Amino acid sequence: MKTFVLKLATVLAFGSVLVGGMAYGQMTAKPYAEGVVSDSGAIQLPENFRTDYVMLGAWSVAGDADTGGGVGLHVVYAPRSAVDGYRKTGSFPDGTVLVKELFNGKTESLTTGEATSATTTAGYFVMVKDTKGRFPDNALWGDGWGWSFFNADNTKQTVTTDFRAECLACHEPARSSDLVYSYAYPVLQK
């Protein structure tokens, strides 16, 4: 009787470790692109990306001759974990969020020469890496990414309706680097 009780106790204890382990595993399974992608695949701009993400790089947008210099800046950001993943494997991990912020610019004569700095935000482009084809019927998803543009005054609701019509053709030149202009982002280079 005594050994039976002991055995039973052992089985119970082992069982609770197993159950506990499963619950722990489920608790720690990370949701996909949390806070950015809804269950139906709607994308919103990640909050606090300017402080929480790292900057991949920036593009200076030259104006015509009569604008006297740069007219804007595009600044591109990603989570540090995405940068770490890319530097290890050479590709963006599933769930990577890329943000391109469009800044209007002011060009002035400084001690360095003619220089352009960021002023107001004109809008945001967001791409979210999806290696699993999660939203096959959603026109904002395909070719390995989710795609959305946001006007500066509404970062929760995209104005993009179809990435194939509104994004893809312009990103085709970067097809060999997963549709991202990654050569311009120094932190991704080893």
Q: List the strands of the sheet with 113-129, edge to edge.
A: 54-62, 70-78, 97-110, 113-129, 145-151, 141-142
Shortest spacing between CB 153 and ligand HEC, in angstroms: 17
Q: With respect to ligand HEC, which residue has the nearer C-beta, 100 or 116?
A: 100
Tokens representing residue 95 in the block = 């769930």
Q: With respect to ligand HEC, which residue has the nearer C-beta, 12 or 62?
A: 62
3 state SS of 154: coil
Q: With respect to ligand HEC, which residue has the nearer C-beta, 57 or 115?
A: 57
> Which residues have a Cβ under 8 Å from the Cβ of 72 and sit 6 or more positions away?
60, 61, 102, 103, 104, 105, 116, 122
Shortest spacing between CB 110 and ligand HEC, in angstroms: 23
Q: With respect to ligand HEC, which residue has the nearer C-beta, 32 or 59?
A: 59
Shortest spacing between CB 187 and ligand HEC, in angstroms: 13
Q: With respect to ligand HEC, which residue has the nearer C-beta, 53 or 147?
A: 147
DSSP state of 20: H
Return residues touching ligand HEC (CB under 6 A): 59, 74, 76, 98, 100, 125-127, 147-149, 160, 163, 166-167, 170-171, 174, 180-181
CA 8, CA 12: separation in Å to the nearest integer? 6
> Which residues have a Cβ under 8 Å from the Cβ of 125 and sit 6 or more positions away?
99, 100, 102, 148, 149, 150
Shortest spacing between CB 181 and ligand HEC, in angstroms: 3
Shortest spacing between CB 183 and ligand HEC, in angstroms: 9
DSSP state of 82: H
90: left (phi over 0), alpha (psi -120 to 50) or beta: left
Shortest spacing between CB 128 and ligand HEC, in angstroms: 9
Provide the CA 42 distance to its chain's centre, in angstroms.
Answer: 14
Q: With respect to ligand HEC, which residue has the nearer C-beta, 32 or 143?
A: 143
